[in-house]
Amino acid sequence: MNVPPCCDLIPDHIRQLAPYQPGKPMSELERELGLTSIIKLASNENPLGPSPKALGALQGLSQAFSLYPDGNGFELKTALSHRYRLDVDHWILGNGSNDLLDLVARTFLGPGTSAVYSRYAFAVYALATQAVGAVGLEVPDLDFGHDLEAMLAAIRPDTRVIFIANPNNPTGTFLDGKTLRRALARVPAEVVVVLDEAYTEYLSDVHRYDSFSLLREFDNLLVCRTFSKAYGLAGLRVGCAAGHPELIAFLNRLRQPFNVSVPGLLAATAALQDEEFLSMTRRVNDQGRAQLVAAFQRLDLLFIPSWGNFISVAVADGAAMYQGLLRQGVIVRPLAAYAMPNYLRVTVGTEAENERFIESLEKLL
Ligand SMILES: *Cc1c(COP(=O)(O)O)cnc(C)c1O
């Protein structure tokens, strides 16, 4: 197809963007292969579905669909404030936490600036950085995780943002709270640290650290959370971030006024109170992760120990194995886009889903 001439004038940094590759939707595989019983372990979604409290909050909502949402998200922010003991003006809400990562880039980055992130870290950091014409400084990993020393050393005078995912996706690696805090203390005050904790709810009590208390020490810290993973609300698109009120106010200048939907706000507010669902989610994940680990060990497959609701496992040919699994109705995530062509990332599912994945995998090995 011919490219309209108006597109010739699109700036180079946008031309060179490689679009984010999402997990394959089940409906697409259904259309392509005519399969019926498909399982998706590709996008780190909650296999238990949404929080029941969130579902309850959505009952009888249809009238509200004709009204704009509260652009200020007062009720959700109030609920977050109570839950995490942090005043309302410390919070910002996003259309998923992706929206917030993008907002950070648009607020702090641009041509002539740079952002630091790790090799094998969440792909959106590089995308958001490049999208605004900034330079991405990708730092070599340390055993698939963040090498904080190297990341600190990579900071240049033009660096404005450091992205840290903890636990990291797609590798599942984890930095303990003390290590993190020591590193934060060495980041120049002019550089924003984005601490992306999309999987923090999956940590066990021994590993959990209080990232919100770090905000009292570090004015340049922004802690990002999401309702997409452990709360089971990926389809509703709600994320949140906490930081210094003045930093938050700058992000708010660029935020779309109604970036979180009516159902998103209601569901997230209710989900936040759903401790029971959260602990069940954690329990199912712990068991499922152990189930996958045991299978990988039995099959002599190399895997990266994970602190999240997914595991990345090495196979001879990731692309071929991915296709083979698809043909059996099992969707996982190939990691070629992360320069890990012999790895697949599998989301921890229910016991039955994990079993089906393991059987399919074993057949193909
Ligand atoms: C899934 C994920 C997110 C964001 O997901 P949203 O659905 O946009 O909230 C952010 N960071 C990491 C590391 C993730 O894996």
State the burial class of residue 250 (Cβ atoms within 10 Å of its Cβ: 0-12, 13-18, 19+).
Answer: middle
pLDDT value at position 24?
Answer: 87
**Ligand 1 neighbour 165 (Cβ under 6 A):** yes
Distance CA 359, CA 354 (A): 9
Q: Measured from the CB, is residue 98 less than 6 Å from ligand 1? A: yes
Domain 5-49+276-364 shares a fold with domain 67-271: no
Residue 239 · residue 97 · CB < 8 Å: yes
CB of 354 sitting under 6 A from ligand 1: no
What is the token pair recorded at 166?
């903890």
253: left (phi over 0), alpha (psi -120 to 50) or beta: alpha
- In CATH terms, the fold of domain 5-49+276-364 is Aspartate Aminotransferase, domain 1 (3.90.1150)
Q: Per-residue confidence of the chain (365 residues) as pLDDT tens digits?
A: 888 999 999 999 999 998 888 888 888 888 888 888 899 999 999 999 999 999 999 998 888 889 999 999 999 999 999 999 999 999 999 999 999 999 999 999 999 999 999 999 999 999 999 999 999 999 999 999 999 999 999 999 999 999 999 999 999 999 999 999 999 999 999 999 999 999 999 999 999 999 999 999 999 999 999 999 999 999 999 999 999 999 999 999 999 999 999 999 999 999 999 999 999 999 999 999 999 999 999 999 999 999 999 999 999 999 999 999 999 999 999 999 999 999 999 999 999 999 999 999 999 99
Say whether 319 sits in a helix, a strand or coil: helix
Q: What's the pLDDT at 30?
A: 87
For residue 222, the SS3 value is strand
Q: Which of 365, 347, 359 is nearest to 40 (CA)?
A: 347
Q: What angle do CA 327, 344, 14 make, to 5 degrees?
A: 100
What is the fold of 67-271?
A: Aspartate Aminotransferase; domain 2 (3.40.640)
CA of 363 to the centre of ligand 1 (A): 32
CA of 96 relative to ligand 1 center, distance in Å: 7
Which atom of ligand 1 is closest in space to residue 95's alpha carbon?
8
Choose the residue to mutate in 20, 46, 93, 98 for probing ligand 1, maximizing ligand atoms within 8 Å of C-beta.
98
Distance, in Å, from the CA atom of 311 to the CA atom of 343, rounded to the nearest integer, reads 10
| Prediction pTM value | 0.96
- Domain boundaries in the chain? 5-49+276-364, 67-271
